Amino acid sequence: MDALSTGQSGKIAEYFLACAVMSASGGRLSPFLPASDDHGVDLVVMDRLTHGCLGLQVKSWRASLGAERRTVQFDVRKATFNPTPRLALAMVVLDPETLTMEVGWLMPMQAVPSVSVEQADKFALTPSRSPASSDRYAGYRHTEIGSLIGGLIGMMPTSG
């Protein structure tokens, strides 16, 4: 077998983002991984300055050599969707060789229905990977991990 399962790829993205949260925030943000599948919450992030907490659902797409696609698709299952202000969605495209973020998007969970295509059991989000794209996801796009983490700091509640 030479291909990762979707579960393995997802776990890599969760750990990648957890490490990036700590590093890029200079230790201000502390990520916590739920001990079990917590219905759409992959990370809980606490702001050590304000003690505010935010749940993150993490979606990932791994770039493949020789298989360049302009758009990627991330699905949020309706069974785990919760449009509360205390939840956000982070979607990242990871380079499989360098384990770096090629591009990412960060949005409040409440924004998902307005930018996705609603299907029977899920919301399908199809952002362009191009940094120059002016698609409906452009306002949520980050081309640097530090920018994505800065956006996360801006979304943090001011108290726990």
- Every domain of the chain and the residues it spans: 6-155
Residue-wise pLDDT tens digits, 80-121: 999 999 999 999 999 888 889 999 999 999 999 999 999 999
Query: Which residues 6+ apart lie within 8 Å of 132 measured at CB?
Result: none
Residue-wise pLDDT tens digits, 30-42: 999 988 876 789 9
Measured distance CA(121)–CA(53) in Å, rounded:
28
pTM, 2 dp: 0.92
What CATH architecture applies to the domain 6-155? 3-Layer(aba) Sandwich (3.40)
